[in-house]
Amino acid sequence: MDEQERIRETYRRMYEGMIAKDKSLLRDVLDESFVLVHMTGMRQTKEEFIRAVMSGTLIYYSAIHKHLPIKLQRDTAILTGQSIVEAAVFGGGRSSWHLQQVCTLKKRNGQWKIVKSVASTW
C-alpha cells in the first residue's frame, strides 16, 4: 500500500469508527490535537467529537466515498473527502448529505493521523 492509499484508509477508518461508534478506532485515527470544524463554524476537540458520536448527538449510519483526492507534501497531507453520508445530527432527522471534509493529516511515528477536518457540503 502506498502513502496515498494509507491516507485514504485513515479517512475510511474514521468513518468506520463514526458509524460503529467505535471509540478506540476513533482515538486511533484522530490526532490528540484533532479539531472538527462543523458547517456552522462550531469547533469540537477530539474528545468532544468522540463524546458526541458515543452519546448519539452525532449519528452516522453509512458513508459512500466518492472522491478522495490528496495533496501530499512529506509528512503532511490534505485529503478532500467527498462522501454521501446518511446521518442524524444535533437532534435532526436522518438525512442523506453530500458531505465534504477537508482533512489535514500528519504522519506521526509512521502512522497517518487526522489533525483537522473542516466540514461542508459539495
Percent of the chain with pLDDT over 70: 100
116 near 84, Cβ under 8 Å?
no
CA distance 35 to 5: 23
* The total number of structural domains that make up the chain: 1
Question: Domain range spanning residue 63?
Answer: 3-121
CATH number at residue 95: 3.10.450.50
Residue 1 pLDDT more than 90? Answer: no
pLDDT tens for 10-69 read 999 999 999 999 999 999 999 999 999 999 999 999 999 999 999 999 999 999 999 999
4 near 78, Cβ under 8 Å?
no
The 3-state DSSP class for residue 3 equals helix
Which residue's entry shows cell 474514521? 14
Listed residue (67, 54, 62) closest to 87, CA to CA? 62
> Concatenated DSSP letters for 42-99?
-EEEHHHHHHHHHHTSEEEEEEEEEE--EEEETTEEEEEEEEEEEEEETTPPPEEEEE
